[in-house]
Amino acid sequence: MPTKTVEQKERVVVRFAGDSGDGMQLTGDRFTNATAVLGNDLATLPDFPAEIRAPAGTLAGVSAFQIHFASQDIVTPGDAPNVLIAMNPAALQTNLRDLEPNGTLIVNEDAFVDRNLEKAGYSTNPLDDGSLGGYRVYRVPMTSITVRATEGMGLTKKEAERSKNMFALGLLSWMYSRPTDVTTKWVEKKFNRKPDILRANLAAFRAGYNFGETTELFAHTYEVKPAPALPGTYRNIAGSTALAWGLVAASVRSGLPIFYSSYPITPASELLHELSRHKNFAVRTLQAEDEIAAIGAALGASFAGQLGVTGTSGPGLDLKQETISLAVALELPLIVVDVQRAGPSTGMPTKTEAADLLAALYGRHGESPLPVVAASTPANCFDTALEAARIAVKYRTPVILLSDTFLGNSSEPWRLPDVDGLPEIDPHFATQVNHDDGFMPYLRDENLARPWAVPGTPGLRHRIGGLEKEDVTGNISYEAENHERMTKLRAAKVAKIADDIPLLEVDDETGDAELLVLGWGSTFGAIRGSVRRTRRSGRKVAHAHLTHLNPWPRNIEGVLRRYRRVLIPEMNTGQLAMLVRARFLLDAESYTKVQGQPILAADMDEQITRRLTS
């Protein structure tokens, strides 16, 4: 056995790509866990095919999973992978363009047969025609080794072949010195009812590991040191799970049952799926007949004293706007989650975008203001959901929470918070008559919030509706000054929330940055990563990120004016930039990318560098 050298790496981006049937998501997941346990910081991003079940071997059927892990704090799933594992020609065809120059390409040689090559649109075999010259290519007959390794285990050939993803996992585990016990234990637990499959999977995994160790193909393994991390218990979490759990946490911390009413739509369906599993938290989930019914029922539940939540994506947001407007008039707590995707219309349902900001703020007839918050990282989805609930309940208002496809699908390690340390939310139900003349449903408190008196409370019976209401009494009123007063009160209530949110923080280590990058939403990782990187190469750049899109933190103007230039990168055509320009008459520049793809740290490098060298 030749001895292999161990090379140290600071960061690595690996992408597993194969047919939908090849189990790439699972492979990625397992690699992630082994990486996490090693103490690397990491971020991941799956890339599902748009088709439900495309024919095997086709381009449409390619499924991929990317992981970025490092010995330092990282913030994105990575841009160009350093390593690409391609389980078949189609996977190579659709993913190769992203691989870094001279990157490592590991292919399942067995899959490069004529039929598959043809399906992938290759007229010649790329393994042979010299077209892969720019990469370090490793041809590994994964299928056949797997089949051999599992011989005599009583599996059909097809069943045996199915374990080839475990082979790939084993190989990569060896290559990056990942612990094997984590995976072994998981396989044992997962397949404990199917001993044949269990054995085959373990055998394939070991075969992959040993292949790396023994074959002369690979000269060295890599080590990525653990990243320094705060002490605590960690888990890896995807944005959609974190968001759902944040809602559950809001329920626990407020004592209000969650009433999640939604109509399935990619990529928001995940929230419905996740929440429907937590009935033992008294979470009520209702799959409504459409988006309008979904929000209607959520609003009804809020009136009845629960925490109404509805989730959707762009097309559904459009449909909900009329009822959101009713919620604005009723001044009841309500959370509307919009997991943004590429539009207009049906657009590209599986692709990311963040172009619903203006619709969230202004997409309703009349003057219909409400708070808007946006999550910035997968784990931050948890906090932002809690924050949305806090605002909704305290201020008796619908809140729109923006996420997006990229955030929902990608994941990162999350240091689990202490449950008792999470913010408490006091529903502060009205129980007493609040005025000499009886109960006044629109008599406001110091936050301009009105009382929330729920059915069943004696003495507080009242009727509310979408017609303009008289200040204090809530009676219907067509009176001119009252309408103006109410319009202003509704706006003032939302504006006042600015007193109750954290100031905008700036990441500006030296304090002498010339360019401020102002972000919101899922661009956080790309911006933060790039700002740190470019700063290291001498650029004077700072980063601030908005969680609260309405109202803004009180200090935003001061922050913005501190910098010579302000750059606002967005996955839309410049929506936040427009708002900033309008409010402060400040010549904020816009960097936009509307490709259904996240903004990458590399994109930001370019934007920052261009601005700070020119």
Partner 1 sequence: MTTVGNGGRHGPDGGGGPGSGAALTLTKKDFASDQEVRWCPGCGDYAILSTFQAFVPELGIPPEQMVFVTGIGCSGRFVYYMDTYGVHGIHGRAPAIATGVATARPDLSVWVVTGDGDALSIGGNHLIHALRRNVNVKILMFNNQIYGLTKGQYSPTSEEGKVTKSTPFGSLDHPFNPVALALGAEASFVARTVDVDRQHLTGVLRRAAAHEGVAFVEIYQNCNVFNDDAFLALTGKETKGLNQIRLEDGKPVTFGPDGARCVAVEFDGTLRIADTADTPEELVYVHDSGHPNPAPAFALANLSSGPTEPTALGVFRDVRRPVYGELMDRQIALATEKLGRGDLGKLLHSGDTWVVEDGGVPVGSFQS
Interface with its own copies (CB under 8 A): 50, 313-315, 317-319, 321-322, 325-326, 328-330, 338, 340, 342-351, 353, 355-356, 358-359, 362-368, 465-468, 478, 480-481, 483-484, 487-488, 490-491, 572-573, 575, 578-579, 581-583, 585-587, 593-597
Selection from 178, 223, 225, 210 nearest residue 6 by Cα: 223
* 455 membership: H or E segment, kind and range: none
- How far apart, in whole angstroms, are the C-alpha atoms of residue 555 and residue 466? 35
In whole angstroms, the minimum distance from the beta carbon of 344 to its own copies comes to: 4
Contacted entry of ligand TPP, partner 1, its own copies, none for residue 442, CB cut-off 5 to 8 Å set by kind? partner 1
515 counts as binding ligand TPP under rule CB under 6 A: no
Question: What is the biggest distance separating any 2 CA atoms in the chain, rounded to whole angstroms?
Answer: 92
- How far apart, in whole angstroms, are the C-alpha atoms of residue 504 and residue 495? 16
299 counts as binding partner 1 under rule CB under 8 A: yes
Contacted entry of its own copies, partner 1, ligand TPP, none for residue 230, CB cut-off 5 to 8 Å set by kind? partner 1
Stretch of residues binding partner 1 (CB under 8 A), selected from 399-407, 455-463, 521-529, 603-611: 455-463
In whole angstroms, the minimum distance from the beta carbon of 483 to ligand SF4 comes to: 24
489 counts as binding partner 1 under rule CB under 8 A: no
Q: Tokens 């009413």 map to which residue?
A: 261
- How far apart, in whole angstroms, are the C-alpha atoms of residue 34 and residue 14? 14
50 counts as binding ligand SF4 under rule CB under 6 A: no
315 counts as binding ligand TPP under rule CB under 6 A: yes
53 counts as binding ligand SF4 under rule CB under 6 A: yes
For ligand TPP, the binding residue among 105, 147, 265, 294 (CB under 6 A) is: 265
- How far apart, in whole angstroms, are the C-alpha atoms of residue 449 and residue 428? 11
Burial 425-447 (b: 16+ CB within 10 A, else e): beeeebeeebeeeebbbbebeee
**In Å, how far are 141, 151, 384, 400, 422 from 387, measured between CA atoms?**
51, 55, 5, 11, 10
Contacted entry of ligand TPP, its own copies, ligand SF4, none for residue 263, CB cut-off 5 to 8 Å set by kind? ligand TPP
Q: Which is nearer to its own copies, 27 or 95 (CB)?
A: 95
Q: Counting beta carbons within 10 angstroms of the beta carbon of residue 114, is it exposed (0 to 12), middle (13 to 18) or buried (19 or more)?
A: exposed
Residue 471 makes CB contacts below 8 A (sequence gap 6+) with 442, 482, 485, 486, 489
Contacted entry of its own copies, partner 1, ligand SF4, none for residue 69, CB cut-off 5 to 8 Å set by kind? none
Q: Are 441 and 453 in contact (CB under 8 A)?
A: yes
Selection from 69, 102, 67, 107 nearest residue 217 by Cα: 107
215 counts as binding partner 1 under rule CB under 8 A: no
Q: Which is nearer to its own copies, 349 or 417 (CB)?
A: 349
In whole angstroms, the minimum distance from the beta carbon of 53 to ligand SF4 comes to: 6
Which residues lie near ligand TPP (CB under 6 A)? 263-265, 291, 315-316, 319, 346
Which residues lie near ligand SF4 (CB under 6 A)? 52-53
